[in-house]
Structure 1
Amino acid sequence: MAEYSRNASGSSSSSFNSDNTEDDQTIAHILAQDEDEKSRLGHKLLKRLSHLDSISHTPRVITEIPEASDATVDHDILAERLATYGLAEMQIDGDGNCQFRALADQLFQNQDYHKHVRKEVYKQLKHSRKLYEGYVPMKYRRYIKTMKKLGEWGDHVTLQAAADRFGAKICVVTSFRDASYIEILPKDRNLSRVVWLSFWSEIHYNSLYEIGDVPTRVPRKKHWLF
């Protein structure tokens, strides 16, 4: 259970303004590369799974974590659904950044760009407050300040903000017993890509591909490693 201990590292983590923040121009260049191929893969899955019924998405924050026994059952439910739909997971690090890492893998083919994704989501939340504050049951400024921190878990509000910021339709296969599939649309409906995630409910996100198509990611070496 990669992220079962809520905020084990999140509350004391640094924000994305650390020395490790990726250069925005580099990110933009990566996003622009092979854009047609990235879009094709997401739309290919969407077409193949067009028979799935999605529920209306309501942004919300995480309020409670399931008990261990329930979490185990939920994991089995998710695994069964993925097998039924012909999907496989790219395993994402469970360091509290999994939602942003999974989005980064789908958008940039590299989960290490999660800091950039978090930064863009933070900007969206900050500059479009009226779109999101009604879904946040706490002081909004405190909420976005918290979400700015590395290691802080993303929620359904940050997913909506990511969809809006990147112009992406986010398709989520979940372990929810009454909602196996959720589609999150950007508010302006100007779609530029389709993103696929799995969600082991309120515990962990992974990046989704067709079975047999999960890419092999070569970890990016830090300059201080040999």
Structure 2
Amino acid sequence: MEELQARHRKEQRDLQSRITQKKKQASKKTRKGVNDECDKLEAELKGRHAVETAALNGEPNAHGTEPLTEQLDDLTLKVDDEDATPRTNGTQHVKDFNELASSQEQQTANGTSQTKKPNKAKARLAKRALEQEERARQAAEEAKNLPDLKQQERERMLEYMTERGLREKEIRADGHCLYSAVADQLEQLQIPLGSTPGDKPTLAYKTVRAAAAEYIERHLDDFGPFLEEPLPEYLHKIRETGEWGGQLELMALAKSYGIDINVLQDFGRVEKIESGAGRKEEVMWLGYYKHGFGLGEHYNSLRKAG
């Protein structure tokens, strides 16, 4: 009883707070309607509290049957839920409760088992799951109306490749794409990958990775200011992992192999990375994609068409 009375006092305080807020926000035109609504809310709460108190005390209801506390919990489930809409008539609780009591008596007479007390936590979780599912459905619906950035980027890239007499050699999107694309270009230009004996074509990207790491290590004054982590860790990622390559690695490879690198990007932009070797007759071409592949940014090798 103490717990019930404490909950009743809290519900009364919460309702009074809501009523005060509603009345503060009411205008002259809406004041009468707000007052009527507040009276209904107070009557509803008072009626429910009376039913709950009677149920706990074991008092008979209008039908002369013993109140069922387990069914009462089911009756007040939505009222306890912070998202529930309160009933508009306090006497409705008494009616619903009596109907549930009569139904329970008949089930007992027929030898059926009593209804189990509902789990409020599970009910709330189920409600949230439905809300999340609905949000996901709406997001998927909105995504259908978004432009296909991948397809648009690819169409533009193919157009600019054709203008420059280039064709695409697709490189596997596995984190080694920049190094594999450079290795393919070196092969097309007949430039040796390196002096390591026993290199295999399937491992060519490892040789290119090693060349980039070695050049950065030997020219730390040029690259050190741009590193965001200690040099040993950075070099380890280049040599031994599938860490993506970027601007610094392209600069190191252009210098290491003594060849300019042109990177064709969306909308026809070409980023030129000069080697300083002065061999203008030979240029390496790479294609850079921002949206085209599952891992995100990606490089392909661009060979001469024909």
TM over 0.5: yes
Q: Which sections of structure 1, spanning at least 5 residues, go unmatched?
A: 1-67, 213-226
182, 185, 188: which is aligned to 2:274? 185
Contact 2:210 2:238 in 1 (8 A): no
Q: What does 1:101-180 align with in structure 2 at a 5 Å threshold?
A: 101-109=180-188, 112-175=203-266, 177=267, 180=269
**Aligned partners of 2:269, 2:206: CA distance in 1, in Å?**
28
The TM-score normalised by the length of structure 2 is: 0.42
The TM-score normalised by the length of structure 1 is: 0.55
Q: Percent identity?
A: 27
1:44 counterpart residue number:
none
Question: Residue type matched to 1:210 in 2?
Answer: K
1:14 counterpart residue number:
none
Question: Residue type matched to 1:189 in 2?
Answer: A
1:197 counterpart residue number:
286
- Write 1 or 2 for the structure with the bigger share of helix: 2
Question: Residue type matched to 1:184 in 2?
Answer: I
Number of aligned residues? 143
Give the number of the structure with larger relative contact order, counting CA–CA contacts within 8 Å between residues 6 or more apart. 1
Question: Against the structure 1 CA distance between its residues 91 and 111, is the aligned structure 2 distance closer, same or farther, given a 3 Å change threshold?
Answer: farther
2:304 counterpart residue number:
210
Structure 1 or 2, whichever has the larger Rg, is 2
Question: Against the structure 1 CA distance between its residues 131 and 90, is the aligned structure 2 distance closer, same or farther, given a 3 Å change threshold?
Answer: same
Question: Against the structure 1 CA distance between its residues 83 and 190, is the aligned structure 2 distance closer, same or farther, given a 3 Å change threshold?
Answer: closer
Q: Is it true that 1:80 corresponds to 2:159 in the alignment?
A: yes
**Aligned partners of 2:156, 2:225: CA distance in 1, in Å?**
31
Q: What does 1:37-52 align with in structure 2 at a 5 Å threshold?
A: none
Question: Residue type matched to 2:164 in 1?
Answer: Y
CA RMSD of aligned residues (A): 2.6
92, 98, 102: which is aligned to 2:171? 92
Per-residue deviation, residues 91-133 of structure 1 (Å, max 9, x unmatched): 1122211111111111124564111111111101111111112
In the TM superposition, residue 154 of structure 1 has moved relative to its aligned partner by: 0.9
Q: Which sections of structure 2, spanning at least 5 residues, go unmatched?
A: 1-146, 189-200, 291-295
